[in-house]
Homo-oligomer: A and B are copies of this chain.
Amino acid sequence: MATFFLFLFVLSHALCFSEAKVKGPVTYLWPLPAEFTSGNETLSVDPELSLVFGGKGGNSDIVRLAFDRYKAIIFKNSNGVSGLDRLRPREPSYDISKVRVVVHSESEELQLGVDESYTLFVLKKDGKAIVGEATIEANTVYGALRGLETFSQLCTFDYGSKSTQVHKAPWNIRDKPRFAYRGLLLDTSRHYLPIDVIKQVIESMSYAKLNVLHWHVIDRESFPLEVPTFPKLWEGSYSQWERYTVEDAYEIVNFAKIRGINVMAEVDVPGHATSWGAGYPALWPSSSCKEPLDVSQKFTFDVLSGILTDLRKIFPFELFHLGGDEVNTTCWEATPHVNKWLKQQNMTTKDAYQYFVLKAQEIAISKNWTPVNWEETFNTFPTKLNPKTVVHNWLGGGVCPKAVDQGFRCIFSNQGVWYLDHLDVPWEDTYNAEPLEGIHDPSKQKLVLGGEVCMWGETADPSNVQQTIWPRAAAAAERLWSRREATSGRNSNVTALPRLHYFRCLLNRRGVQAAPVSNFYARSPPTGAGSCYVQ
Across the A-B interface, give the 10 residue pairs with the lowest CB-CB distance, nearest first: A238-B531, A196-B511, A190-B529, A462-B508, A82-B254, A459-B525, A463-B515, A194-B509, A221-B529, A463-B513
| In contact, B516 and A461 (Cβ under 8 angstroms) | yes
A242 at the interface (CB under 8 A from B): yes
* Interfacial residues of chain A within 214-259, with CB under 8 A of chain B in the complex: 221-222, 226, 234, 238-243, 245-248, 250-251, 253-255
CA of A533 to CA of B157, assembled, Å:
42
A532 at the interface (CB under 8 A from B): yes
Q: Which residues of B contact A525 (CB under 8 A)?
A: 459-461, 463-464, 523
Q: Which residues of B contact A531 (CB under 8 A)?
A: 192, 222, 238-239, 242
| In contact, A533 and B238 (Cβ under 8 angstroms) | yes
Q: Which residues of B contact A255 (CB under 8 A)?
A: 81
- Report the minimum CB–CB distance from A372 to chain B (whole Å): 23
- Of B162, B515, B523, the residue contacting A245 (CB under 8 A) is B162
Contacts A80-B250, A251-B82, A525-B461 given; does A532 touch B242 at CB 8 Å:
yes
- Report the minimum CB–CB distance from A71 to chain B (whole Å): 15
Q: Which residues of B contact A222 (CB under 8 A)?
A: 529, 531
Q: Which residues of B contact A39 (CB under 8 A)?
A: none
Q: Which residues of B contact A495 (CB under 8 A)?
A: none
Give the size range of A's interface with the partner. 35 or more
Q: Which residues of B contact A192 (CB under 8 A)?
A: 531-532
Q: Which residues of B contact A523 (CB under 8 A)?
A: 463, 525
**What residues make up the interface of A, taking CB atoms closer than 8 Å to B?**
20-23, 76-82, 84, 87-88, 156-157, 159-160, 162, 189-192, 194-197, 199-200, 221-222, 226, 234, 238-243, 245-248, 250-251, 253-255, 457-464, 466-467, 505, 508-511, 513-516, 523, 525-533, 535
| In contact, A238 and B461 (Cβ under 8 angstroms) | no
